[in-house]
Amino acid sequence: MKAALRSSILVVIAALVASCAPSGPQKSDYLLGYTRNNGPTGKGEHHSAPAIPDDISYWDGEGTTGAPLIRINRAEQKAYFYKGGQLVAVSKISSGNEDHGTPPGRYKITQKDKDHKSSTYGAIKDRATGQMVNDNADIRTPVLPGQIYYPAPMPYFMRFSDGIGMHTGFLPGYAASHGCIRMPDHMARHFFENVELGTPVIVQ
């Protein structure tokens, strides 16, 4: 009787411990399967934090002339686009996270690449099944036999510092990138089409 009671107690304790343990990160396609409607797609599980509705971003720069300037406010998670000193657009963004912060300062656009892919970050999938193995990999992450590494796509990339630029990307509603400025696709396209090499970028 005592043995049975002790066994039952151990089972209950084990169940409680298991319920408190971390469930482990979900594997997703949000870096690789990003579509231009601001959501992940592709094989495997989707990111567990879907993009929140965007009632912030707008573009009103058609027909306005003047030198472009971009101001990025990390605290607000917004980017502001000016032409000739006049505000013509505001975009929701996701800047660098705590471990990979976007550095403040004054910069200039040094590269434009509509179909850019990251030279550092990406994800690893199983070659045979297409299932996600590591959704936060980089070029130093070991790729085992039967796996394949995919560099992260960064459409409408506008570089303004070493390894950092603005581009289309997943927006979870907070600072989550490796340092770049992620934007909704339609806003990244507007910014891309209206900047030139040398356009000032101010990060606050």
- Output the pLDDT for position 25: 39
Catalytic-labelled residue, pool 47, 116, 178, 180:
180
Would residue 180 show up in a list of annotated catalytic residues for this protein? yes
**Span 162-203, pLDDT tens digits:** 989 999 998 999 999 989 999 999 999 999 999 999 999 999
Give me the pLDDT at residue 163, please. 87
Predicted confidence at residue 43, as pLDDT, reads: 35
pLDDT of residue 9: 40
- Choosing from 167, 178, 186, 190, the catalytic residue is 167
Q: What's the confidence (pLDDT) of residue 120?
A: 86
User: 33: how many CB neighbours lie within 10 A of its CB?
Assistant: 20
Q: Which stretches of the chain drop beneath a pLDDT of 50?
A: 2, 5-29, 33, 35-49
Percent of the chain's residues with pLDDT above 90:
61
Domains of the chain: 25-203 (2.40.440.10)
pTM for this structure? Answer: 0.74
